[in-house]
């Protein structure tokens, strides 16, 4: 169980005028500092779209790459993995990189034309930096009170994945993005915190999985990308209502959530919902 938690938004689409000198870029990277009592742990979840932006913002925020104990990649799209190689080349430690095995599969979009949106390097590239690549499908406990979701069960009918493609066993087919995962953190006397990268699995599906894994119905915070950009009004409404039913105290949508969806979430959830900005610090 975690005593205290500090989240720093290292990369996000938008910047706040309260934090000069930081760069915004389409993507996400969150530094998670967890107080375990007698120990502490530092996790970098995702690395944004480019090394230039990630390392610049780390320098401005005073983040030492050698303090990072674990890199967790939420899924295999470029805007969450593009900064990885620059970070690993800067880091002097053999850092574990934890992700789903599908993270290295082809990631394609068909509109307005076929293009690759996957990781811009190979497994060999990663391992040649000295990083330890860990690729389990299932949930992994990375510290007492901190775990990955593993592959997310998709039980909510209104949360679907559309517009993504891959090549599997020589067949061009729709990509369900099974590699999409999130972090689940249990905080003492508060409940669980769910931190998502893009929530391609559906943010409500992810929270449901977090509750099953922890055997807890107490959701304290939901933070990250909710992937509602471009979603229809019905999905946005049902997502907002489901989150209201889950009753978290803090909801911080960003990155791929979209302005329209954030407005609906704020209308439904009130002041507990505030958008993310690069440089934000959330202490729990």
**pLDDT at residue number 143:** 97
- Give the CA angle between residues 235, 236, 242 to the nearest 5°: 85
Alpha-helical segments (H) within 9-157:
51-61, 78-81, 84-90, 123-128
Q: Could you write out the DSSP letters of every residue in 101-120?
A: GGGGS--EE-SSS-EE-B-S
SS3 category, 243:
helix
pLDDT, tens digit, 9 for 90 and up, residues 79-93: 999 999 999 999 999
Q: Residue 17 pLDDT more than 80?
A: no
pLDDT, tens digit, 9 for 90 and up, residues 120-154: 999 999 999 999 999 999 999 999 999 999 999 99
- Binned at pLDDT 50, 70 and 90, residue 69 comes out as very high
Q: What domains does the chain contain, in order, with CATH numbers?
A: 4-283 (3.60.15.10)
- Are the beta carbons of 64 and 42 closer than 8 angstroms? no
**pLDDT at residue number 204:** 98
**pLDDT at residue number 16:** 83
- Give the CA angle between residues 151, 264, 77 to the nearest 5°: 35
pLDDT, tens digit, 9 for 90 and up, residues 29-67: 999 999 998 899 999 999 999 999 999 999 999 999 999
- Are the beta carbons of 153 and 205 closer than 8 angstroms? yes
Percent of the chain with pLDDT over 90: 94
Per DSSP, 270 falls in state G
Return the closest-CA partner of residue 40 out of 31, 49, 48.
Answer: 31
Record the pTM: 0.97
- Are the beta carbons of 11 and 25 closer than 8 angstroms? yes
CA distance 83 to 116: 17
Return mean pLDDT, the chain.
Answer: 96
């Amino acid at each position: 169980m975690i005593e205290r938690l500090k989240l720093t938004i290292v990369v996000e689409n938008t910047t706040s005028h309260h934090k000069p000198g930081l760069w915004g870029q389409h993507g996400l990277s969150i530094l998670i500092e967890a107080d375990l009592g007698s120990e502490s742990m530092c996790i970098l979840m995702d690395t944004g779209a480019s090394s230039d932006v990630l390392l610049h913002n780390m320098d401005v925020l005073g983040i030492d790459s050698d303090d990072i104990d674990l890199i967790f990649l939420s899924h295999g799209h470029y805007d969450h993995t593009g900064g990885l190689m620059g970070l690993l080349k800067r880091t002097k430690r053999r850092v574990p990189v934890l992700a789903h095995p599908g993270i290295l599969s082809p990631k394609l979009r068909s509109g307005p034309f076929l293009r690759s949106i996957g990781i811009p390097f190979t497994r060999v590239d990663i391992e040649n930096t000295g990083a330890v690549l860990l690729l389990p499908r299932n949930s992994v406990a990375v510290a007492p009170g901190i775990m990955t979701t593993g592959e997310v069960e998709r039980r909510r009918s209104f949360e679907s994945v559309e517009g993504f493609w891959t090549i599997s066993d020589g067949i061009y087919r729709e990509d369900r993005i099974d590699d999409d995962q999130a972090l689940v953190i249990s905080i003492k006397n508060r409940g669980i915190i769910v931190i998502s990268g893009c929530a391609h699995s559906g943010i409500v599906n992810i929270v449901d999985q977090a509750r099953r894994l922890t055997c807890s119905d107490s959701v304290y915070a939901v933070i990250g990308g909710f992937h509602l950009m471009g979603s229809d009004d019905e999905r946005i409404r049902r997502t907002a209502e489901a989150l209201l039913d889950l009753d978290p105290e803090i909801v911080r949508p960003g990155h791929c959530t979209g302005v329209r969806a954030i407005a609906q979430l704020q209308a439904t959830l009130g002041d507990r919902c505030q958008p993310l900005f690069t440089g934000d610090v959330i202490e729990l």
